[in-house]
Amino acid sequence: MTRIDGIIILDSNGKPLISSHFAQHPPSYPSLHIDAYNTARKKALLDDEELDPVLWVNTLNKGGSGMTGAGLCHTMREGLCFLVPVGQEVNPLFAISFLDSFLDTLRDYLGEITETTIKDNFDIIYMLIEEMLDEGHPMTMETNMLKEIVLPPTLMRKLLNVAGVSGLQTPTTAPFTAPIPWRRSGVRHSSNEIYFDIEESLDAILDKRGNVLSSSVWGRINCNSRLSGNPDLLLNFANPKVMSSCAFHPCIRYGKWEKAGVLSFIPPDGKFRLLEYQAVAGTSKNQVPIALKAGMAIETNGGRFSLVLSSRLNHRPLEDVVISIYLGKGATAVSATATGDRRPIGVRTEEGAADGYAGGGNWEFDPHTRVLKWTISSLVSTERAPTLTGSFTSTEAQPVPSPSFDVSFNVQHHSFSNLRVDQLKVQGDVMYKPFKGVRQMARSGKLEVRW
């Protein structure tokens, strides 16, 4: 039967901060997974390789009389490692999906997921694990329902705990009494408003001539609902057919979407993810909004490179543009010159640091990761294309840098798929017309340009 063994949270040094109760396994079970993860991570760092997302761990069977094995799904956030051991017959995607939901819940409760916030809220995290995992089976996953059972940390609550005051943390409503699982009863707001954030990312591979070899657009719609009562919403899109392979929040009535391409739902209160989707390849604007002419020549103990960057968008600036490349195991130093129309004012560099500031942004080389980064805060199509030219040295006679440059950027108020919200209708037992806000954000996903 599909089940998750538990959750382990490690600090940046690989030491355990949180370890849920592994009742079905020997006491050494979590330690075996922690040791296996730390060993595999250290080996990957030494070999300059990526760590596999699922590791195989040899463990004792339940009786302790023989050896068996388990999978270990893991991810890293803000320097912390989150481990989820699973049995042999469990699909790893099941555990990874649960881990993503667990991290979203922690982020909603704690704000930032850091070592400090983990240590300051041990009791809350253990209670969340108990409510979200019932003997290894995901149970209460809705944040609104969880907040009825496990109160979020507040300054007043911490002061009361320090003062030794108890009995003041009882929820005002008994848990599980709401007729709608994801929405509390009696919700009231002074101003009724709902906001939709449409976020899309573009994954693409381009050859050295700028031709798109492959591309795909992934999107999500995040909501922040502040509506009183139980509003029944109908969200219409001008072009719903651009969305495919959708993953919906449980509040959405699937039959209405299948029949008319309309989202019909009673929203949870507060922030939540309404749906995720993939843009249909035939109708989405898959043209990459950035052009990079990249040249790389490998020489003995080093090489030369030349980059020319330009924007294909006429109506929006590209923001936070970063071009990066791994220069190989033996890379030791970089010398480069960045040019462009605009020049930052008042920028200072530390003596001896590998930084170069010019009108084309700034570049830096990290000798530890051996990655060269070229950063431009904003890029518009009307300015002269910024360039970065230079060379690097290496201890290897024939350096082997990455075969492609990684590109990242953000575009405010832009959509790769051209998805548009048409109108929002409110039904149900409400007598108000809410304020609706829609915001779009487009960003790069895994975008590679080969040289």
Here the CATH number for the domain that contains residue 39 is 3.30.450.60
Mean pLDDT of 35-39: 92
| 339 pLDDT higher than 60 | yes
HEC letters along 6-75: CCEEECCCCCEEEECCCCCCCCCHHHHHHHHHHHHHHHHHHCCCCCCCEEEEEEECCCCCCEEEEEEEEE
Q: What is the model's pLDDT at position 286?
A: 52
| Average pLDDT score over residue span 147-157 | 73
In CATH, what number is assigned to the domain containing residue 404?
2.60.40.1170
Judged against a pLDDT cut of 90, whether residue 88 lies above it is answered with: no
Instruction: List all residues 6 or more positions away from 348 whose beta carbon is below 8 Å from its beta carbon.
Output: none
Cβ–Cβ < 8 Å for 185, 427: no
Nearest to 225, CA basis, from 178, 267, 197, 183: 267
| pLDDT, greater one: 323 or 382 | 323
- Together in a domain, 282 and 298: no
pLDDT for the residue 284 = 41
Of residues 83 and 50, the one with the higher pLDDT is 83
Q: Are residues 313 and 404 in the same domain?
A: yes
Say whether both 208 and 266 belong to one domain: yes
Confidence at residue 168, expressed as pLDDT on a 0 to 100 scale: 45
Tell me, letter by letter, the H, E, C secondary structure of the chain.
CCCECCCEEECCCCCEEEECCCCCCCCCHHHHHHHHHHHHHHHHHHCCCCCCCEEEEEEECCCCCCEEEEEEEEEEECCEEEEEEECCCCCHHHHHHHHHHHHHHHHHHHCCCCHHHHHHCHHHHHHHHHHHEECCEECCCCHHHHHHHCCCCCHHHHHHHHHCCCCCCCCCCCCCCCCCCCCCCCCCCCCCEEEEEEEEEEEEEECCCCCEEEEEEEEEEEEEEECCCCEEEEEEECCHHHEEEEEECCCECHHHHHHHCCEEECCCCEEEEEEEEEECCCCCCCCCCEEEEEEEEEECCEEEEEEEEEECCCCCCEEEEEEEEECCCCEEEEEEEEECCCCCCCCCCCCCCCEEEECCEEEEEECCCCEEEEEEEEECCCCCCCEEEEEEEECCCCCCCCCEEEEEEEEECCCCCCCCEEEEEEEECCCCCCEEEEEEEEEEEEEEEEC
Query: What is the domain count for the chain?
Result: 3
**Could you tell me if residue 176 is inside a domain?**
no
- Degrees (nearest 5) of the Cα angle 279, 282, 283? 65
- Who contacts 439 (Cβ-Cβ below 8 Å, separation ≥6)? 195, 196, 197, 198, 413
Residue 302's domain comprises: 290-412
Residues 300 and 398 in one domain: yes
**Res. 137 pLDDT band, cuts 50 70 90:** confident
* 342 and 209 within one domain: no
In whole angstroms, give the CA distance from residue 251 to residue 257: 12
Q: Which two tokens stand for residue 426?
A: 């409110």
pLDDT of residue 305: 95
255 in the same domain as 372: no
In a domain, 129, yes or no: yes
- 73, part of any domain: yes
What pLDDT score does 351 carry?
39
Q: What is the pLDDT of residue 30?
A: 87
As given in the structure block, the two tokens for residue 350 are: 């530390």
Return the structure tokens found at 167: 């009995």
Residue 216 predicted with pLDDT over 50: yes
Kindly state whether residue 245 falls inside one of the protein's structural domains: yes
CA 56 remoteness from chain centre: 25
Query: What integer is the mean pLDDT of 2-11?
Result: 87
Q: Domain boundary at 163, 185, 210, which?
A: 163
* 139 in the same domain as 14: yes
Instruction: Provide the pLDDT for residue 344.
Output: 47
Q: Let me know whether 351 and 363 are in one domain.
A: yes
Specify whether 406 is located in the same domain as 425. no
Are residues 86 and 108 both part of a single domain? yes
Total-model pTM? 0.76
* Other CB atoms within 10 Å distance of the CB of residue 166: 8
In a domain, 199, yes or no: yes
Sort strands 193-206 and 435-450 into parallel, antiparallel or unpaired: parallel
Average pLDDT, stretch 166-170?
47
pLDDT band at 186 (very low <50, low <70, confident <90, very high): confident
Residue 352: pLDDT over 60: no
Does residue 168 form part of some domain? no
Same domain assignment for residues 55 and 119: yes
b vs e for 297-319, b when ≥16 Cβ sit within 10 Å of the residue's Cβ? eeeeebbebbbebbbebeeebbe
Of the two residues 35 and 351, the one the predictor is more confident about is 35
Mean pLDDT of 251-272: 92
Interval 281-292 mean pLDDT: 67
Asked if the structure places residue 188 within a domain, the reply is no
User: So what's the pLDDT on residue 398?
Assistant: 92
Does a structural domain hold residue 305?
yes
For residue range 101-115, list pLDDT tens digits in order.
Answer: 899 899 888 888 989
Distances (CA, A) of 357 to 30, 235, 310: 48, 47, 18
Shared domain check, 257 and 109: no
pLDDT greater at residue 137 or residue 305: 305
